[in-house]
Each structure stands twice: as structure tokens, then as C-alpha cells.
Amino acid sequence: MDRRASIRRLGVSDSGYIVARLLVAFSLILLRVTGLLALPQDPGMISLFQWGLALFTLTGVLVLVEYLVFHLTTRQVLWSALPLDVITGGMLLVTTQAYQDPVYAWLVGIVVIYAAALSRRESNAVTIIFAVSYFADHVIGFGWAHSTVDYIVLAFKAVALVLLGYFVSEGAHRQIEREAELESSRSDIESLNEQLQRRLAELNAVSEITDVVHSSLDFDAIGPLVLEIIQKVIDVPACSLLVLDKEKAETLFSASTGLGSLPPTIAGSLAFSEGSAAVELEGGLFSCLTILDHSHMMVVFCAAAGQIEAMRQEDRLVLQAVASELAVAVENSQLYKLTKRLSITDELTGLNNYRYLQQRLEDEYERARRFDRSLSLLMFDADDFKLFNDRYGHVAGDVALAELGGLLKAAVREIDVVARYGGEEFSVVLPETDVAGAFVVAEKIRESVATHRFPDADGNRVVSLTVSIGLATYPIHAADREDLLRQADDALYQAKHLGRDRVRTSQPIGRATEPPAGESPAAAPTEPPAAEGQRI
């Protein structure tokens, strides 16, 4: 198996070199055996030829063994065979000179092989050695009896060997240099292509993240998708991306993948440390790095400490581009949320406004109708509030309305909807609350307002206010949403008409001519002590 692998390892030139040596040796042996190659009758010449032929054959076998057994390189094989080739060439040239240099062709071939395999300097030296050997062998074989022309021809052939070796060496090495340049160029092109592909992937990722970020204001939904796109470009298996409010030390946006839950104090720690901090989580120690510091906002990227340090400049640029988009999107989201909140919020009291009341009342009515539940509505009105404004001024009146809204919110559940209906009128929607439950809530509100002291124009809490409350419940008092509003408003009117500071329920359906279903009269009006306040 090793021998077969060694044979497959040989290149075309190596195989040709081995085969050529063996063919030359076989041809010389065949010519000698068949008698076609006549040698000088001198026994010394015959013996010299036989030894030269034997040495030539052994050199070929040695070359084959060095290739296949010892796995030597072509350069090593040629250097080991060089002395034997020089000696063998001389022996064969001396004994076969009568045949018009039959070994010269082999000598040309051997020069070409050495010139192609060795360096320029080595090739030139080896070629000169063969040329000198060729010339010397002929001089020794011919003696000095030949004419000047013969020696000129002999010198010309020796010089031809040198020139042949030089040009073959130059051509081979220029080819090698060109191939090396092409390989280097190919490597550079591949490197540039890889960089280009990476830049395109980064640009596509940034573009995709931009589309995702600006396609929705629901950051909780798009956060994991943003990190998934980032991980396609940056090889970070576990990371977190946060947008912080530096002034309030709050987290405005966060998304994580592969990390445990971030500690609640992370926003304060990062804001205080300007975004560079170490975080200990279940998966180990993570580092956080500020990638954008913009106005009052800071965008921070957290990942394993080693991965943060190993990030390339290109990766940081991608994160900065993403951070810029996130910062803009967070600002837009905050503005959107503020606009949305203001559109349904009464600016003075902070309660829901009339628009929101109508929307929620419609939703709660549909729910009550679908599941056959009760739905109650309370309508409030501050008694004689015009007199309050005339006596203490509109500024004190605005303060009183704001505090009145706070009293209403404090007296109801979180699921109840408190809204400013308009002016000094307020409404409370009580889902899944019957008449009795709504009456209890209304009484609680009436009493909390009656016992509260509101500030006068100078800020002294000496003024009392009362409210009149109208109550209606679906389906007892009304058949639909509009009727529920109308019945609660009618009940409020009756409460105001009957003396104020009381709770009045609407008439049940089908009993409009009967006495009122329920009423909570206020205590007899009395002038409270000056220390406690004065009633309007």
C-alpha cells in the first residue's frame, strides 16, 4: 500500500525521468547484446564500456529506490545521482565516440532535467560540469591527433550544453515565478472576495435590521430577531443588546440570547461605569461594551469577555450602525408612546379622557353582553364647582380637579376605568360589578371626597367639596352602551336635583313610573368648624 502511494506521489516529470533512464540503459544493453553496438577492440575500452553501462543501470535503480523507498524529493535524488551521472557519462562517451556521439542526446536530456529541477546557480554549475566533462572525455578518447575544426565543433557542442542548461533553467524558473505570482494573485483575489462577501453580508444585515427596527414599535417582539441577524455576521453565541437611559438609569430596550436573566441593577451599573462593566451570570463572566453614547441614551453590547476582546473593528462598526438605528427607533417609540398616551389622557388630572372612556366602555359592554355579566357606570359631578372657581380662582380649581381625580383612582380597583368626562364631571366604569357593588364604590368615593380638604388660593387646605353621583348597571337599568350612559347621566341629574352630595341609582328597565330604586342622601348641611374647612 505504501509503495502504491509512493508511485502515485510521483509527478509526470519524475516518472519521465525514471522511465528515460531505464530505457536508455535497456537500449544500450540490447544494442550490446545483439552486437549492433561495435566497440573498439581494445579490451580496456570494452571493460570501460561494460562498467559504465553497469554503473548507469545501477544509478537508475538507485534513483528508483530513492523515490519509492526513501521518499526523497527530486532535488535530493538529482544531487545524489550527479557524481554517478558525470562518471557514467564520461565512461560511455569515451567508449562510444566512434558512433558520432550517441550519448550526447542522453547528455542533453540529463542537462535539461537538472536545469529544470535545480536553482539557477546550481543549474549553471551542474551544466558547466557536464560540458567540461564532455569536452575532457572527448579529448581523452580522441587524443590530440584531431584537427582544429574537430575541437572547435567539440567546444561548440560543449558551449551548447551550457547555453541549453542556462535557457532551460531561466525558462523553468520564470515559469515557477509566474505561477507563484499567479498563486499569490489568486490568494489576494480570494481574500478580497471573502472580504467583499463579508462586507456585503454586513451591509445586508444592517439593512435588514433597519427594516426590522423601523417596521414595528413593539421592541419586545423585534429584539430577538435583531440579535439573530447580528449573530449571522458576528460569531457570538451568547449576547445581549441594551438601550439605556443614562439620566434615569433605566433600561429602555433589551434583548438577549443564550444568556441568563440580566440583573435588575444592570442599567445603573452600566450607566455609572459609562458602559464598560463585567457581569456575572449563570453562563460565566460577561463583558459589556458601549457601542454608542448618544445624548441621554447609551447602547451597550454584552457578550463573553474573550469574545468582546476578539471582536474585529469591522464587527464593531456593524454594531455601531445597528446601535444608531436602535437609538433613533427608541426615540421614535418613546415619542409614539407619549403621543398615544396624551391622546387618551386628560392633561390636567392625568386620568383617561372622554375618547378613551367611550372606547373602553364599548369593549366592556361587549364583554358583559357576550358572557352575561354585569357592568356598572358611575357619573360624578363636583357640586357648585363654579362657586369654587369664583371664590378661589381657576388655579385653585385646577388643583382641586387634579386632587379629585386622585381620590377617584385611589378608591377603585386597577381594572376599573376612571376618566374625566368633561369640566368637573368624571366617570368610572366598573366591569363585572352589580348594583349593590357599584353602590358601595360610589358611597366610598362620596365619603372620601367629603372628608378631603382642598387648598384655597393661598394653598391652605381648608376647603371642602362634595360630589353628586349617578349610577346605572347593565342589564338592569340599560339595554345597551348608549342607554347605560344616558341612565347614569339621568341618575346624576336626579342626585343634583334632590340636593347634591348623594348617590342616586337609575330606574330599572320597565319601571320608569315607580319611585327611585335607590338613593344615598347626604347628611344635613352644616357649617364645619373653621379649623376643618369651609364648604362650598
Which residues are known to be catalytic?
424
Contact 327/213 with Cβ under 8 angstroms?
Answer: no
Dihedral over Cα of 36, 41, 47, 52: its sign: negative
Residues 6+ apart with CB under 8 A from 407: 445, 448, 449, 452
Q: Which three cell numbers stand for residue 510?
A: 320597565
**Cα–Cα distance, 337 to 327 (Å, whole number):** 15
Between vectors from CA 508 to CA 502 and to CA 514, what angle results, nearest 5°?
A: 80
Neighbours of 412 (CB within 10 A): 18
Give 524's strand partners.
Answer: none
Answer left, alpha or beta for residue 463, where phi above 0 means left and psi between -120 and 50 means alpha: beta
Between vectors from CA 11 to CA 7 and to CA 16, what angle results, nearest 5°?
A: 90
Reported in sequence order, the residue ranges of 432-496 that DSSP labels E, i.e. its strands, are 453-455, 461-464, 467-474
Answer left, alpha or beta for residue 340, where phi above 0 means left and psi between -120 and 50 means alpha: alpha
Dihedral over Cα of 23, 25, 31, 34: its sign: negative
Contact 22/60 with Cβ under 8 angstroms?
Answer: yes
**Cα–Cα distance, 380 to 397 (Å, whole number):** 16
Q: Which three cell numbers stand for residue 147?
A: 584537427
Q: How many residues does the chain have?
A: 536
- CA 529 to mean position of chain CA atoms: 72
Q: Which three cell numbers stand for residue 342?
A: 396624551
Q: Which three cell numbers stand for residue 10?
A: 510521483
For residue 460, the one-letter residue type is N
Which of 467, 476, 454, 532 is closest to 495 using CA atoms?
467
Residues 6+ apart with CB under 8 A from 368: 374, 375, 431, 432, 474, 475
380 vs 325, 411, 413, CA distance in Å?
47, 13, 17
Give the pairing of strands 417-422 and 375-382.
unpaired
Phi, psi at 478, each rounded to 5°: -145, 155
Between vectors from CA 381 to CA 378 and to CA 386, what angle results, nearest 5°?
A: 170
Which of 19, 22, 139, 126 is closest to 82 using CA atoms?
126
Write down the residue that cell numbers 382641586 correspond to.
400
**Cα–Cα distance, 375 to 370 (Å, whole number):** 12
